[in-house]
Amino acid sequence: MAFTPEIAAIRFGEGLSPSIAPAKSVAEVMAQLRGDDLAAAAFPIPPLSDLYGDFAKVNALKKAARRGRKGPDADDLSRSYKQARRGFNSRLQGVFAPLVSRSITSPQPFRERLTRFWADHFTVVGKTNLTRSAVPFYIEESIRPHIAGRFVDMLKAVMVSPMMLEYLDQNTSVGPNSRGARGRRGLNENLARELLELHTLGVGGAYNQTDVRQLAELLTGMSTDLSKGFVFRAKIAEPGAENVLGQAYGGGAPAVEDVMAFLDDVARHPDTARHIARKIAVHFTSDTPDAGMVADMTQRFRETDGDLSAVYQVMLDHPFAWSSFGEKIKQPVDFMLSAMRVLEVPAVSLRKMNRTKRAAYVLTPMTAMGQHWFRPAGPDGWPEEAAAWVTPQGLAARIQWAMSAPSAFYRSLPDPRDFAEVALGGALDKKVEFAARAAETRREGVGLVLASPAFQRR
pLDDT value of position 433: 96
Task: Tell me the mean pLDDT in the region 3-17.
Answer: 97
pLDDT tens digits, residue range 87-124? 999 999 999 999 999 999 999 999 999 999 999 999 99
pLDDT value of position 113: 98
Q: Determine the Cα–Cα distance for residues 39 and 106; give it in Å rounded to an integer.
A: 5
pLDDT value of position 242: 98
Residues whose CB is less than 8 angstroms from the CB of residue 196 and which lie 6 or more positions away in sequence, other chains included:
205, 207, 211, 212, 215, 266
Percent of the chain scored above 90 by pLDDT? 95
Provide the pLDDT confidence category of residue 70 given band limits of 50, 70 and 90.
confident
Strand ranges in 90-246 using DSSP code E only, listed in sequence order? 222-225, 229-232, 241-244
Continuous H helices in 106-150: 109-121, 135-138
Backbone angles phi, psi at 315, to 5 degrees: -60, -50
* Ranges of each domain in the chain: 162-267, 270-323, 332-456
pLDDT tens digits, residue range 144-165? 999 999 999 999 999 999 999 9
Model pTM? 0.97
pLDDT tens digits, residue range 179-226? 999 878 899 999 999 999 999 999 999 999 999 999 999 999 999 998
pLDDT value of position 411: 78
pLDDT value of position 209: 98
pLDDT tens digits, residue range 278-332? 999 999 999 999 999 999 999 999 999 999 999 999 999 999 999 999 999 999 9
Task: Tell me the mean pLDDT in the region 405-433.
Answer: 93
pLDDT at 85 > cutoff 80: yes
Q: Cα–Cα distances in Å, from 203 out to 190, 274, 281, 285, 454?
A: 15, 11, 16, 21, 33
